[in-house]
Amino acid sequence: MNSDRWNTIEDLYYSALELDAGERETFLEQQSRGDESLKDELLSLLASADRQDSFMEEPAVPLALEVLRSERMGMVGQTIGRYRIVGVLGHGGMGEVYLAHDPSLDRKVALKLLPATITDNRVRVLRFQQEARAASAISHPNVAHIYEIDEANGLNYITMEYVKGATLRELLKTKAFDDATALEVCKQVCMALAAAHKAGVI
Over residues 2-18, the pLDDT tens digits come to 556 666 787 787 788 77
pLDDT at 199 over 80: yes
Which residues lie below 8 Å from residue 148, measured CB to CB, with a gap of 6+?
Answer: 158, 159
Over residues 78-93, the pLDDT tens digits come to 899 999 999 988 766 5
pLDDT at 43 over 80: yes
Instruction: Report the pLDDT averaged over residues 14-27.
Output: 82
pLDDT score for 48: 66
47-70 CB burial, b ≥16 within 10 A, e <16: ebbeeeeeebeeebbebbeebbeb
